[in-house]
Amino acid sequence: MSARADETARELPKLPKLPIGISDFERLRREGCPYVDKTGYIVDMIDSGSFYFLSRPRRFGKSVMISAFEALLSGRREMFEGLAAEGYFERSNYRSYPVVRINMDKIPPDSGADGIRSSIAGMVRDCGTALGIGVSDGLAPGEALRTLLFEAEKKIGPVALLIDAADDPIIDLIHYDKAAREIRHILREFFTHVKNSLQSVRFMLINAVSRLSKGNVLSSVGSIRDISNSGRYAETLGFTEEEVVSNFSGHIDALARARGEERNDLILKIRDYYSGYSFGGSRLVYNPHSVLNFLAEGKFKNYWFDSASQRGLSERLRKHDSLTDFFRGIDVDARSIETYDIESSDIVGFLFQSGYLSIRERNGSRVTLDYPNKEVLSSMAGMIQFIKLKDYRAQVKGHLLEKSIEDGRVEDLIKYYNLIIADIPPDILVRAERKFANMKHKNAPASLYHSMLFSLIWSARMNTLTDGYSYGGRTGVIVEKDGRRYIIDLRVEDEDDACIHAVGEAMASIRSSVEVGSSEPGGSTAIAMAIDRSARRVNRFLVERL
């Protein structure tokens, strides 16, 4: 990377303002921000049905889409000039609708049950005021909404009902069962009134972060079309690569020049870091929040992962006795992740529905899951290290190793790896070795140490090239970082003399694999390591440039 990369922001030419932090469609359009046109999907949904539910991870553009629906349905045609939905207003049967929009993410955090009731009821009354319809104080949220919808239909006509972030009041409380059940009861009661008011509604869209709301809170709504994993609407939110390249071409060109890179090389890096999400379609989509922030700052950082507290994620991981590699290439029944229940202890369903895992392959009723991209993988590796080692320095070690590799100090891998395995609490070490042994791996003790090596490598944002991540008896891994390749062979022994023999055998194995063509050297670096289990450290290592 060019030394100028850190000064990227100061070198960018004048470009259209990026819509970072703008969740309102009309504001985005008025301020001339680039808008990835999704309005064709909006029109298709209006034409094809009436009542929809759509889940996507946080910061994926759900609020922008809801506000675009509001603008379209209420008749603000000037906002749609040049967009796919422009022709919608020219239809002979065109009409506008009164819109009732409830933004659950506007409820203050930690409001408690009474605060949630008060906030929702207040939003309903505000919608009534905007439509010229009074809604009495003192009504429960659901009763207030039913009154508003009935009066609006009677005085104006059928209503469009838009509910944004439906699970926001409950999503951070899913690991607190009592609080979650209480708030779920409030929301279920509210949505029961929604169900009983649908005769007044022409169109309804409810969105949420996860489908757990559909299976629990929103089950009271009744007949609603869930398009969360519909191939037809797979690209409704998120950016396809074509959309990134065409809508932000100037920003990409400017960044490539400032970083001293070829445009296509930079696009490949952006793909590796921020794409990888699949929502039932054949194409993968990028995380909009991370892409926009990268284009603004010019630095590959974990923008999406770091944009929230991750409290719920941390609590779930603490209760689950698995390391980072457990979730790579994991094969599950599709129904188990698509009907996840809030009271379930299944962490895989939680990770999938919250955006930390994505579908890589479908095979009948089975799906293969993996982390969607390098941002999520490196973040999860660092967090799991922190949780398992009970040491805040665990994440720092990944960043330090990344800098060492960039500077060519390959031997630092051994230093930071030794620090990692030395910090494994004895109870976790014993439990993990027993767990791997129960899985009947041929090399069960080594599997634990491979897992920790993977976590360190991934937290340093290095790519591993392999077909599987639960290694069992396998000892080698190929790693890439910034065009450099490292072939690592790790052995685990019980005493010093055995380590001396094992490290030589490991290096010979690497050389042999290169000679027979199973690896591609091309300037590769071979790293052979032997761990002494009794000392819990790398006892011997060899580094050789091939």
For residue 187, being part of any structural domain is answered with: yes
pLDDT value at residue 408: 84
CATH of the domain at 125: 3.40.50.300
Model confidence at 10, pLDDT cuts 50, 70, 90, reads low
94 or 452: which leads in pLDDT: 94
Does the pLDDT value for residue 198 go beyond 50?
Answer: yes
Report, as an integer, the average pLDDT of 481-508: 90
Tokens linked to 472 = 């069992």
Between 43-47, 341-345, 390-394, the lowest mean confidence (pLDDT) is in: 341-345
For residue 334, being part of any structural domain is answered with: no
Is there a single domain that holds both residue 7 and residue 117?
no
What one-character DSSP code corresponds to residue 218?
Answer: G
Is there a single domain that holds both residue 59 and residue 207?
yes
Between 265-269, 366-370, 398-402, the lowest mean confidence (pLDDT) is in: 398-402
346 or 172: which leads in pLDDT: 346
In whole angstroms, give the CA distance from residue 483 to residue 132: 63
The domain of 505 spans: 377-545
Is there a single domain that holds both residue 222 and residue 122?
yes
78 or 353: which leads in pLDDT: 78
Does the pLDDT value for residue 521 go beyond 50?
Answer: no
DSSP per residue, 399-425? HHHHHHHHTT-TTHHHHHHHHHHHTS-
Is there a single domain that holds both residue 127 and residue 210?
yes
Say which amino acid occupies 308. Answer: A
Tens digits of residue pLDDT in 158-172: 999 999 999 888 776
pLDDT value at residue 444: 52
Does the pLDDT value for residue 85 go beyond 50?
Answer: yes
Tens digits of residue pLDDT in 224-262: 899 988 999 999 999 999 999 999 999 999 999 999 999
What one-character DSSP code corresponds to residue 500?
Answer: H
Domain count, the chain: 3
Is there a single domain that holds both residue 206 and residue 65?
yes
Is there a single domain that holds both residue 269 and residue 297?
yes
Is there a single domain that holds both residue 277 and residue 152?
no
pLDDT value at residue 309: 78
Report, as an integer, the average pLDDT of 461-477: 60
Is there a single domain that holds both residue 158 and residue 293?
no
Tokens linked to 47 = 């034409």
For residue 355, being part of any structural domain is answered with: no
Model confidence at 89, pLDDT cuts 50, 70, 90, reads very high
What one-character DSSP code corresponds to residue 24?
Answer: -
Listed residues 249, 282, 306: the one ending a domain: 306
Find, among 256, 207, 211, 247, the residue nearest to 229 by Cα: 211
Does the pLDDT value for residue 117 go beyond 60?
Answer: yes
pLDDT value at residue 51: 95
In whole angstroms, give the CA distance from residue 370 to residue 330: 7
Listed residues 233, 262, 284: the one ending a domain: 233
For residue 23, being part of any structural domain is answered with: no
Listed residues 203, 233, 263: the one ending a domain: 233
Question: pTM, whole model, 2 decimals?
Answer: 0.87
In whole angstroms, give the CA distance from residue 27 to residue 33: 9
pLDDT value at residue 345: 56
Is there a single domain that holds both residue 81 and residue 119?
yes
Neighbours of 513 (CB within 10 A): 17
Question: Could you tell me the CA-to-CA distances from 114 to 140, 164, 178, 190, 531 in Å, in that order?
Answer: 11, 20, 15, 14, 57
In whole angstroms, give the CA distance from residue 411 to residue 486: 12
Is there a single domain that holds both residue 301 and residue 226?
no
In whole angstroms, give the CA distance from residue 134 to residue 129: 6
Residue spans of alpha helices (H) in 204-248? 212-215, 241-247
